A and B are shown apart, each in its own frame.
Chain A
């Protein structure tokens, strides 16, 4: 495990922020970090997918998620009073300041692993953005309304592949089932209520993650049954802590790759 006891930089003092807008900013940073970190993982499939057509498909999904993150970061930076822009969030934050769940930071496995992860994450995003489109905040509602069309397509892509692999050959079914079991310990964290999301939901700004568990699970289980797959056994352990900045070992390596150019050449432009 990564050393989680390292001191982390104190946040810049929020000048214009009110006491209540910092938790809502934290909530948005969590959503944006999920999107950006998963965009980074999906981009790794370029040249590595089973076909060049699948490189393109996963690359497109990655870019959709990148766009969602880019829309949310500057707004979070204005809400928390720091004025940080997208690069400030993406390129110079240390590991303890990232609020994404562990699911999206895990290393790229085989193609079935990715389809299992994409199925859960896109089903989660469909339910999330459908509700966020009714947010009391116009910016959040607007970002969500645009994202809904994108994430429905992501869910469709994952669904088609999970059905083909599950209801395919003995080998493809065995590997798809194994992938679902490997992803299972990371699912519950998507639905864990942290302080920021409780406050964001209470004000009508955000959505309570635990409210998404039932509809998301139902969506995924419907796909699994169509794919002749079993719902995975209850996992013996569960990931937690991502929303508080406590991450698993792959996160440090991911950030090193994501950030090293920007950190080696601060302020560089082209």
Chain B
């Protein structure tokens, strides 16, 4: 997958870049990743996202981001990225006695 919009591909459909789609629902506070799609440019990516992901009134706001522009952690780095957090229980606020008359904590 070259992803480059100006890459010379035998079939134009294969040269359309991939876009990641984020939708904010009616009651949502933040945009949530819902999937991806192909489109030749940002304007059409936004419309494709509308047609593919919000046909049933799922959202009130849409973001599209070129998949190439996302820097992601690699599955190979999973251990060094995430495992060290597993045994640091002191990072969780679990050592306090909660007074009985405090609600909603």
Binding site for B on A (CB under 8 A): 50-54, 56-57, 60, 156-157, 160, 164
Query: Chain A interface: which of B25-33, B43-51, B76-84, B92-100?
Result: B43-51
Interface contact B47-A51, CB-CB below 8 Å = no
Instruction: Name the contact of A56 in the complex, choosing from B40, B44, B48 (C-beta under 8 A).
Output: B48
Per-residue CB proximity of B4-25 to A under 8 Å, as 1/0? 0000000011001000000000
Interface contact B43-A53, CB-CB below 8 Å = no
Q: From DSSP, what is the main secondary structure of chain A's interface residues?
A: helix
B52 / chain A contacts, CB cutoff of 8 Å: 53, 56
Per-residue CB proximity of B57-80 to A under 8 Å, as 1/0? 000000000000000000000000
A161 nearest in chain B by CB position: B44
B40 / chain A contacts, CB cutoff of 8 Å: 164
Binding site for A on B (CB under 8 A): 12-13, 16, 37-41, 43-44, 47-48, 51-52, 55
B12 nearest in chain A by CB position: A50
Interface contact B48-A160, CB-CB below 8 Å = no
Interface contact A56-B51, CB-CB below 8 Å = yes
B37 / chain A contacts, CB cutoff of 8 Å: 53
* CB pairs A–B below 8 angstroms (22 shown): A50-B12, A51-B16, A51-B38, A51-B39, A53-B37, A53-B38, A53-B39, A53-B48, A53-B51, A53-B52, A54-B48, A56-B48, A56-B51, A56-B52, A57-B48, A57-B51, A60-B55, A156-B47, A160-B43, A160-B44, A164-B40, A164-B41
